[in-house]
Structure 1
Amino acid sequence: MSAPPTRRPPRRHTVIGLLAAGLLTLIGATPAAAQSASPAPADAVTWAVQPSGPDGPTGRNYFVYDLPPGTEITDHVGISNLGDQDQTFTVYGTDGFLTDDGAFALLPADEPATDVGTWVHFDQREFVVPAGQRRDIEFRLSVPANATPGDHAGGIIGSLVQVRTAADGQQVAVDQRVAARIYLRVDGPVQPSISVESMSIDYDDPLNPLGDGDAVVTYQVRNTGNIRVGGTGTVLLAGPLGWDLARTDPVDLPELLPGSTFTVTERITGVPPALRLTATVDLAPTTVDEALPPVTRTASVWAPPWLLLAAIAVLAGWLAVRRWRTGRAAATTDQATDPAVVPAADRAAEPAQTPAPLGDPATTGPATTAAS
């Protein structure tokens, strides 16, 4: 089985209340604890979830494994109750995915796991943790014999359901969850790969023919391999004949899980209407082990200076009309001054000239003188 693709978290409530799965805090460099964007009520409980061992925390930030298919291991997760009352926590594994903004997240409580979350097994689902204490809970991680090689991501969640009174006096059940991530690589052929799945460019043509506009470049990156891939992305903007117009600063891509996507939108200001704009996305992908060959993709859009082109068209039309009128006037003048063209009245005033008949001796023969 492979890691689930990127998706929006389902927008549905759990059967126990309106705010189920309302809070998810993932473990980072320090043990994670339940938090809230608003001030916590007086009876709020704070707890932490972290990788641990039989004798306590091991200093790991995440559960990280490299295992062959068909392997089963045991490990421990620590649940620390930082409150002043004993609490019962629900502990279980689930799958991880990326949100639309590139953040790592875990499936909602009412959506069943299909990948690494199903490989995590506890002897029971609920555990009581005394006030101010930590409980290190053992679990088994069983990798199926047919597990897909590559990276699989998920987490172990410590969940606490509390009944709260809303502002309108209605009581609701709030499911608060704190988790520690799992990164598991199944042995086998490693195939790192990333692609620019789609790309578009839009240009906001300025009304001022001498002004500049904004170009918006959007592209979607997909992890088409079987291990996690990150890296950076840069956009180059050029005009006709390779005219270099702009280059964005590198954008850090989130660590993409296999099959997941991430969309980047870059707005480039101060772009002149250069008739034709070409944007090139230049990705520099990396894995946790090495850098990958760069990946590029281009897209173009027309960026005509409309008012300037309209002014040129008007000027060209005016010049054409003027040339036509000038040519017509010149033709009229030439016709009036051509000697081969004589008006009928002038021809009537000219004297008639009648040629002499052929063979007339008075006009055609040589002169003779009579002999005396």
Structure 2
Amino acid sequence: MLLALLFSVITLVLFAPVAFTEQAQLPRDIAWGITPAANEHGGARTSFTYEARGGETIHDAVWITNHGAEVLKLRVYGADGTTTASGDLTLQGSDEPSTSVGAWVQPETSNITVAPGETETLHFTVTVPENIAPGDHMGGIVTSLFSAETAAVALDQRIATRMIVSASEGATVSADIRNVDLGVSTAWNPFAPVNTTIRLDIANTGNTLIRNEVAVTSNSVVSIADTQRIQESDELLPEEHQPVEMLVPVWPRFTQAVEIQLTPVSTSGVVGEVVHESVTVVAIPWGQIAVLVLIGAAVSWYLVHHRRVKRDRQTASVLQ
């Protein structure tokens, strides 16, 4: 039996830029969009955000607009949020069971038909469990168009809008630095610092969705100010980790301390405890050593040559 090869094109509307997985060629006349409906929860929302209590049932709606020329028959369901290996936020696939927000979402219908140029309103509920854990819980409302092009190839295009359900009581904002790794270039230029690649993992040890500011500082020997690089990471879910890579110039001085500072900030603006870590960069100043060797060789040649000339002059004076 021929196994079907499934290509999935996923568009996630998540505050951040649109994210894609593997892409297959889709019909150009098929296009749609979804956005939170204007109601008592807000009039110009880009995603669903709720401050919830345990046992509460939230009623909301989403607008689904058909921008194409064909009638659309879409599946609608909830999905949990997750983090990719590269640290990007995304939603679980349709074949993965939801245990959090995706399981709490219940659309009024699991299938909807939208005519070309029309917008349909789809109502849904979010049933918050009585024992909801403190912090942020992320998922989304997913609309999916599945079509079998051939017996061997199927297309599954999904467009989703993010949803965050927050239980602020007991929420914590914290992060940690893990798995620090250094890559140091060879220091051939005696008059310039070497590029040092610092790789590390940021672990969200709290229970809220956070962004992190990573600052790396190395002491400079040619100016009063230190050399500092600052980088902001993407959003990170609780109990997830995210790789970060930074390029920092370090003056080669055999060994040198580099300070890493991590500042976690929740999406609501709460700043967590700042984390500090010091690492030692080993950078042998080959260029400076070569310059010193050349200077030493030049001085030695000069001294030997000067003594030889002086001796020759003394010898000539005696002979006269």
TM-score (norm 1): 0.68
Which residue of structure 1 aligns with residue 272 of structure 2? 292
**Cα distance change, pair 258–216 in 1 and its aligned pair in 2 (3 A):** same
**CA apart distance, 1:200:** 2.5
| Partner secondary structure for residue 258 of structure 2 | strand
Which residue of structure 2 aligns with residue 69 of structure 1? 54
Give the Cα separation in 2 of the matches to 1:308 and 1:36.
Answer: 49
**1:1-372 equivalent positions in 2, closer than 5 A:** 17-19=5-7, 21-26=8-13, 41-42=27-28, 44-52=29-37, 58-164=43-149, 172-207=153-188, 212-238=193-219, 246-248=227-229, 250-269=230-249, 271-287=250-266, 288-305=268-285
Amino acid at match of 2:175: I
For structure 2, list consecutive stretches of 5 or more residues without a partner in the other structure: 301-320
Does the CA-based 8 Å contact 1:78-1:136 persist in structure 2?
A: yes
The list of structure 1 runs, each at least 4 consecutive aligned residues, that deviate by more than 6 angstroms after superposition, is: 34-39, 307-312
Residues 226-251 of structure 1: CA distance to partner in whole angstroms, max 9, x if unpaired?
Answer: 112214211011379xx976211x21
Does the CA-based 8 Å contact 2:81-2:89 persist in structure 1?
A: yes
**CA apart distance, 1:309:** 6.2
Give the Cα separation in 1 of the matches to 2:213 and 2:106.
Answer: 37
Residues 211-233 of structure 1: CA distance to partner in whole angstroms, max 9, x if unpaired?
Answer: 64321111211111111221421
Give the Cα separation in 1 of the matches to 2:14 and 2:283.
Answer: 48
Residues 42-97 of structure 1: CA distance to partner in whole angstroms, max 9, x if unpaired?
Answer: 5x311111111589x94211111011111112211221122222221000000112
Amino acid at match of 2:203: R
**Cα distance change, pair 305–136 in 1 and its aligned pair in 2 (3 A):** same
Identity of aligned residues (%): 27
**CA apart distance, 1:198:** 2.7
**CA apart distance, 1:307:** 7.5
Residues 11-61 of structure 1: CA distance to partner in whole angstroms, max 9, x if unpaired?
Answer: xxxx86420x3232326599x9x999788535x311111111589x94211
| Partner secondary structure for residue 68 of structure 2 | coil
Give the Cα separation in 2 of the matches to 1:197 and 1:36.
Answer: 30
Residues 108-151 of structure 1: CA distance to partner in whole angstroms, max 9, x if unpaired?
Answer: 22212121110011243211222221111111111111111110
**Cα distance change, pair 189–78 in 1 and its aligned pair in 2 (3 A):** same
Amino acid at match of 2:262: L
Amino acid at match of 1:283: L
**CA apart distance, 1:304:** 2.5
Residues 178-187 or 302-311, more deviating? 302-311
Give the Cα separation in 1 of the matches to 2:37 and 2:5.
Answer: 32
**Cα distance change, pair 45–298 in 1 and its aligned pair in 2 (3 A):** same
**CA apart distance, 1:279:** 1.4
| Partner secondary structure for residue 180 of structure 1 | strand
Does the CA-based 8 Å contact 2:186-2:194 persist in structure 1?
A: yes
Which residue of structure 2 aligns with residue 357 of structure 1? none
Residues 281-290 or 81-90, more deviating? 281-290
Residues 140-185 of structure 1: CA distance to partner in whole angstroms, max 9, x if unpaired?
Answer: 11111111111000100010113346xxxx7621100011110110
Q: CA RMSD in A?
A: 3.3
TM-score (norm 2): 0.78
Amino acid at match of 1:258: P
